Amino acid sequence: MGKVILIGMGGVGSVVAHKSARLPDIFEEITLASRRAQSCEKVRRLIGGNDIDVAQVDADNVDDLVSLIEKKQPDLVVNTALPYQDLTIMEACLRTGVNYLDTANYEHPERPGFEYKEQWAYHGRFKERGIMALLGSGFDPGVTNVFIAHMNKNHFDEMKYIDILDANGGDHGLPFATNFNLEINLREITQEGKYYEDGKWKTTPPLSVHDSFDFPGVGKREKYLLYHEEMESLVKHFPEIKRIRFWMTFGESYLKHLEVLQNVGMTRIDEVEVDGVKIAPLKVLQAVMPNPADLGSRTKGKTCIGCIVDGIRDGEEKRRYIYNICDHEEAYRDVGSQAISYTTGVPAMIGAKMMLEGKWAGKGVFNMEQFDPDPFMADLNAYGLPWQEQVL
């Protein structure tokens, strides 16, 4: 049905590759691409797909990307590289007239924070070129956006209050390690918290707002208010929302290590000079920490990610909770990955499938909640991320 280039062969990219290769009628030709060719070769060996191509590409270089796209002539480019590279890959897709998909919104490598402004600015150019960009086809963002679209379509006449809750109850047995890219993870959680209420964005000191919640499949955990990009697109596309917040759980050991690292300056993203070489301390920290892609075999426990929505249906106030529980060990048995990569990679594959099948189509730049949630929700159940709902 279609040809794809998958760019970025870390933990998430590996999951996308595994899942896509199992659907040859949809993903007829697959090219794995990365700055390090050996990363692609490793994933290809794990999949056992001799018919899968591999390529080396510099995702920071538009001309290099264009050359690869022109050579392979794909129908879709799936970006699971770092968020720093979203704009260069989008630019390459524009030049070549190829559809685009990513899992997280753009971040500037030298500037903390993230927002959709710079990617949304591409809408007119993508529309004029007659191609589509699908932003944030991971879990959060991604599935959480689709969950809200599902709630809006099937359960509410008006959504008022939304809480997005992300709990990782996994244990890898190490004193400190992150389950996805350490640099992106620490940049995200060390910035100010932010939430939307009564038409305004409000900020809080980092990790200062928290309380406990009993997560299905995980148990009671302390959750902390963060800023997360799906809130920005959801309030844009569902303007009736009065308040939306995002929460994530962290254990005491993780927070203690984070506090020490911050106190000694190791989470800084500005460069310092060491023996005549300039480097950001956070990049040094990432270099000495475990690779998240290598944690799968030792991680046990479950994740629980979902949304609680309060609103009105048929004139009455209603409250519903929709969520997925993912088991780290089951994810590893399926694709050799821990659940954090799994819960991002499976939705990326499904989003690509939606585009290749023509179930989600358009010209311009889109977020997940702008499309019919039903086929995506069905595929979550079919491909490893079944969801549950309950009335609260």
Q: What is the per-residue pLDDT across 202-239, written as a single tens digit (0 to 9) for each?
A: 999 999 999 999 999 999 999 999 999 999 999 999 99
Angle of helix 143-154 relative to helix 230-237, nearest 10 degrees? 30
Q: How far apart are CA 215 and CA 344, in angstroms?
A: 19
Least confident of 2-11, 110-119, 217-226, 287-296: 287-296
Global confidence as pTM = 0.93
Query: What is residue 180's predicted lDDT score, i.e. its pLDDT?
Result: 67
* 372 in the same domain as 302: no
DSSP 270: S
pLDDT over 90 (residue 200): yes
Q: Which domain holds residue 38?
A: 2-139+344-376
Query: What is residue 87's predicted lDDT score, i.e. its pLDDT?
Result: 97
Pick the closest to residue 17 from 96, 80, 63, 103 (CA basis).
80
Instruction: Supply the CATH number for residue 325's domain.
Output: 3.30.360.10
DSSP 36: S
Q: How far apart are CA 40 and CA 9, in angstroms?
A: 6
* 223 in the same domain as 164: yes
User: How distant, in Å, are the alpha carbons of 3, 93, 127, 246, 278 from that of 191?
Assistant: 39, 31, 33, 14, 23
Length of the chain (residues): 392
| CB-based contact 2:28 (threshold 8 Å) | yes
* 119 in the same domain as 6: yes
* 306 in the same domain as 180: yes
- Strand residues in 85-192 grouped as ranges (E): 99-102, 132-135, 158-168
- Please report which confidence band the pLDDT of residue 169 belongs to, taking 50, 70 and 90 as the band edges: confident
Query: What is residue 179's predicted lDDT score, i.e. its pLDDT?
Result: 64
Query: What is residue 338's predicted lDDT score, i.e. its pLDDT?
Result: 92
Question: Tokens for 31?
Answer: 């090219």
- What is the mean predicted confidence (pLDDT) over 96-124? 91
Q: What is the per-residue pLDDT across 304-353, written as a single tens digit (0 to 9) for each?
A: 999 999 999 999 999 999 999 999 999 999 999 999 999 999 999 999 99
| CB-based contact 299:324 (threshold 8 Å) | no
| CB-based contact 303:340 (threshold 8 Å) | yes
Query: What is residue 81's predicted lDDT score, i.e. its pLDDT?
Result: 93
Least confident of 115-129, 186-200, 335-349: 186-200
Query: What is residue 234's predicted lDDT score, i.e. its pLDDT?
Result: 98
Q: How far apart are CA 186 and CA 245, in angstroms?
A: 19
Q: Where is pLDDT greater, at 369 or 299?
A: 369
**In the predicted model, what is the mean pLDDT of the chain?**
93
* 369 in the same domain as 330: no
- What is the mean predicted confidence (pLDDT) over 171-199? 82
> By CB neighbour count within 10 A (0-12 exposed, 13-18 middle, 19+ buried), where does 273 fall?
exposed
* 356 in the same domain as 237: no
SS3 content of the chain, % helix, strand, coil (to 5): 40, 30, 30
Whether 384 is covered by a domain: the verdict is no
Residues in a beta bridge with 365: 133
Instruction: Look at strands 316-327 and 243-249 and give their pairing.
Output: unpaired
Whether 392 is covered by a domain: the verdict is no
The CB density around residue 312, as the number of other CB atoms within 10 Å, is 14
* 148 in the same domain as 135: no
Query: What is residue 288's predicted lDDT score, i.e. its pLDDT?
Result: 84
Whether 76 is covered by a domain: the verdict is yes
* 234 in the same domain as 99: no
Asked if the bond preceding 281 is cis, omega within 30° of 0, the reply is no
* 60 in the same domain as 162: no
Domain count, the chain: 2
* 280 in the same domain as 172: yes
- Please report which confidence band the pLDDT of residue 355 belongs to, taking 50, 70 and 90 as the band edges: very high
* 70 in the same domain as 185: no
pLDDT over 80 (residue 263): yes
Question: Tokens for 12?
Answer: 């998430």
For residue 384, is it left (φ>0), alpha (ψ between -120 and 50) or beta?
Answer: left
Residue type, 243: R
Instruction: Supply the CATH number for residue 92's domain.
Output: 3.40.50.720
Whether 386 is covered by a domain: the verdict is no
Angle of helix 11-21 relative to helix 37-47, nearest 10 degrees? 40
Query: What is residue 76's predicted lDDT score, i.e. its pLDDT?
Result: 98
Query: What is residue 144's predicted lDDT score, i.e. its pLDDT?
Result: 98
- Please report which confidence band the pLDDT of residue 297 belongs to, taking 50, 70 and 90 as the band edges: confident
- Please report which confidence band the pLDDT of residue 115 belongs to, taking 50, 70 and 90 as the band edges: confident
* 154 in the same domain as 33: no
Query: What is residue 63's predicted lDDT score, i.e. its pLDDT?
Result: 98
